[in-house]
Amino acid sequence: MRTLTVDLGDRSYPIYIGSGIRQQKALFDAAIHGKQVMIVTNDTVAPLYLDALVTLLGDDYQVATCVLPDGEKHKTLDTYGQIMSSLLAANHNRTTTIIALGGGVIGDMAGFAAATYQRGVNFIQVPTTLLSQVDSSVGGKTGVNHPLGKNMIGAFYQPQAVIIDTDSLATLPPRELSAGMAEVIKYGLICDAEFLAWLEQHMTELMALDTSLITEAIYRSCEAKAKVVAMDEREGGVRAILNLGHTFGHAIETEMGYGEWLHGEAVAAGMVLAVDLSWRMGNLEEADVSRAVAIIQRADLPVLPPAKMTKDSFMAHMLRDKKVLDGSLRLVLLQALGEAIVTSDINVDEFNACLDDAIEAAQQG
């Protein structure tokens, strides 16, 4: 098992990464402070892992469970309300601990529930997908979607601990493994050229879930994110580099309807757009673009937007996106592989050409 500390002053917390650690009761005991525990999960993860966790904790705690329907389309205010109802129906009080057992959707919703149940209760993340292990488990972003925008409702709220069991990746559908790998690749692209080279060397074994290599990849991804988040917990500045590809990606997700394209898939296509635009604006070599596209492809991820996306649909969603400040478009671009910047200094012609070419390529299949 490896341990990483996310350094946020009195909100610091440990991330444990290892094989089989969801059965190490001591990790939970250290992070639970009261007698009540509410495990929030979904109907895909529950049959796999819920009983074992209830059994592990059931002797020492009053354990209640809340099993939600699986899928991004259920990441709504209504589903969040169901968690609140479960907590109240079980008479849980302010000393309860909410455990999120599942992927990013479960983590975001359970985290938002923890942030807002009786104005804040204890919270543990047990992320079961690669995406949630390397992304939402670090940084404290919680929330739900709104029909008019993704993650528009939420709070910054840090967990007490994150317990990442790499064994849970074995049950993950291949498409979701790829989606998670998109974020792993992102860390290489935005802040760690050496890690990017390491990924190029090991992508085949990583996609085959080599235990030791995947533990390393998760550790380095969490470490990269933790460093950025520690500098900027509430996303006032540098943290925005974590959104490489996300402004394009959110437009894709919103236009397609949540859940049609996985978040990581949309981000992958979005990262290619951002890398391409960086090259068009003179920041990258053509060979850099090829390397970025190649590693994304090796993770079985899309490198073009969906064929149904139009220029208008991109623009409509990007202007509503929260990364647009006061109407002027800001994007994360690369200055080199491993070095991202946030800029509103976008060349409009190159921006249009970048989108037009990608849309045309996508439509030609």
35 is in an annotated binding site: no
**Which residues, including other chains, have CB under 8 Å from residue 6's CB and lie 6 or more apart?**
12, 13, 14, 15, 138, 139, 158, 222, 226, 229, 230
Point out the catalytic residue in the list 239, 265, 280, 317.
239
Least distance (Å) between residue 9 CB and a second copy: 12
Least distance (Å) between residue 109 CB and a second copy: 13
Least distance (Å) between residue 341 CB and a second copy: 20
* Eight-class DSSP state of 76: S
245 is in an annotated binding site: no
Point out the catalytic residue in the list 42, 122, 145, 243.
243
Contact in structure between 262 and 270 (CB atoms under 8 Å): no
Give the separation between CA 170 and CA 293, rounded to whole angstroms. Answer: 26
Tokens for 267, please give them. Answer: 């981000």
The answer to whether residue 225 is catalytic is: yes
* Eight-class DSSP state of 70: P
Give ∠ CA 276-281-284 in degrees, rounded to 5.
60
171 is in an annotated binding site: no
Q: What is the 3-state secondary structure (H, E, C) of 29-47?
A: HHHCCCCEEEEEEECCCHH
Least distance (Å) between residue 61 CB and a second copy: 12
Contact in structure between 96 and 113 (CB atoms under 8 Å): no
CB of 105 or CB of 354, closer to a second copy: 105
Point out the catalytic residue in the list 22, 263, 280, 317.
263
The answer to whether residue 145 is catalytic is: no
Least distance (Å) between residue 136 CB and a second copy: 13
Point out the catalytic residue in the list 225, 253, 255, 265.
225
Point out the catalytic residue in the list 200, 233, 235, 260.
235
323 is in an annotated binding site: no
- Which long-range contacts does 255-259 make (Cβ < 8 Å, 24+ apart)? 255/306, 255/308, 255/309, 255/313, 255/314, 255/317, 256/306, 256/308, 256/309, 257/73, 258/72, 258/73, 258/75, 258/145, 258/150, 259/71, 259/72, 259/73
CA 64 to chain centroid, in Å, comes to 26
CB of 115 or CB of 299, closer to a second copy: 115
The answer to whether residue 146 is catalytic is: no
CB of 72 or CB of 108, closer to a second copy: 108
The answer to whether residue 11 is catalytic is: no
Contact footprint for a second copy (CB under 8 A): 34-35, 77, 80-81, 84-85, 88-89, 91, 93-95, 112, 115-120, 141, 143, 146, 148-149, 151-156, 234-235, 319-320, 322, 324-326
Q: Could you tell me which residues are beta bridge partners of residue 313?
A: none
The answer to whether residue 2 is catalytic is: no
CB of 189 or CB of 318, closer to a second copy: 318
Alpha helices in 150-285 (DSSP H): 174-191, 193-207, 211-231, 246-256, 263-280
CB of 91 or CB of 347, closer to a second copy: 91
Give the separation between CA 304 and CA 365, rounded to whole angstroms. Answer: 9
CB of 25 or CB of 35, closer to a second copy: 35
Q: Taking the CB of residue 46, how many other CB atoms lie within 10 A of it?
A: 20
The answer to whether residue 239 is catalytic is: yes
Point out the catalytic residue in the list 186, 250, 280, 317.
250
126 is in an annotated binding site: no
105 is in an annotated binding site: yes
Point out the catalytic residue in the list 22, 246, 280, 317.
246
CB of 312 or CB of 349, closer to a second copy: 312
Least distance (Å) between residue 150 CB and a second copy: 11
Could you tell me the maximum CA-CA distance found in the chain, to the nearest angstrom? Answer: 64
Least distance (Å) between residue 239 CB and a second copy: 12
Task: Please identify every residue annotated as catalytic.
Answer: 119, 141, 183, 225, 235, 239, 243, 246, 250, 263
Binding residue numbers for Zn(2+) = 183, 246, 263
Binding residue numbers for NAD(+) = 70-75, 104-108, 128-129, 141, 150
